[in-house]
Structure 1
């Protein structure tokens, strides 16, 4: 099987370039965090490195430290912002794992006792709901 290559026209690359709208909650020189448009729960956020890579398997190791530093920062802010009991961190690699967007990304989802995640149905959340969630997370990042 031939090794797949990075597609610079994937949706996350377009979001990083500002060609597709997103509700950003965090950005630095290496990483951007924004609301998942098809969330599995309130506050579902994606953390994405700016460096192009399909997934964890082909990422430059130098990308991973800054990425996971921000994953932790965002997870702590999300837990505070939503009063969550915990946080689920998900990361998928290649189709067999469930990866559907081929730009390395990490899902950060607040979790609440007794409430299951919604299925990843492809249904888009209302922009005003995403904007309100993003604002809550940004405020918690400033705490």
Structure 2
């Protein structure tokens, strides 16, 4: 189902349920601003999702509505996870899909971290 990044936040989305502990996840990192976990359908040897604890639909929603403290905390958490997982040395890809044309599937901001092998061209097809 296409995601409208301007739609109101739905607290029944899968990531909201993961944050509440209603759906299990394989935790990688957490702090007051973010939660990181392994993707259940990895697209690379390392595929981690980092989500903010706040109720944000997309990067657009987050950048417009989050406090400076939330933004800084989330961005630092993404960097921390990449370093902690050893992705920085060999390189990695960071991706946040936004809306229908961007391929967003869950209406909660999430950043994908991919690594562990050469990742090829930026956009296929």
TM-score when normalising by structure 2: 0.81
Find the aligned partners of 2:45 and 2:116 in 1 and give their Cα distance: 9
2:71 corresponding residue in structure 1: 64
The counterpart of 1:8, out of the listed 6, 11, 32, is 11
Contact 1:23 1:34 in 2 (8 A): yes
Find the aligned partners of 1:25 and 1:5 in 2 and give their Cα distance: 28
Q: Secondary structure of the equivalent of 2:86?
A: helix
* Structure 2 unaligned regions, length at least 5: none
Query: 1:81-106, CA deviations, whole angstroms, 9 ceiling, x for partnerless residues?
Result: xx962111001111110100110110
The counterpart of 1:46, out of the listed 44, 49, 52, is 49
Q: Which of structure 1's runs of 4+ aligned residues deviate more than 3 A? A: none
Contact 2:10 2:107 in 1 (8 A): yes
Paired residue total:
113
The counterpart of 2:108, out of the listed 95, 103, 112, is 103
TM-score when normalising by structure 1: 0.72
2:29 corresponding residue in structure 1: 26
Q: Evaluate the alpha carbon distance shift between residue 109 and residue 42 of structure 1 in structure 2; reply closer, same or farther with a 3 A threshold.
A: same
Higher mean C-alpha deviation, range 84-93 or range 30-39: 84-93
Contact 1:84 1:110 in 2 (8 A): no
1:133 corresponding residue in structure 2: none
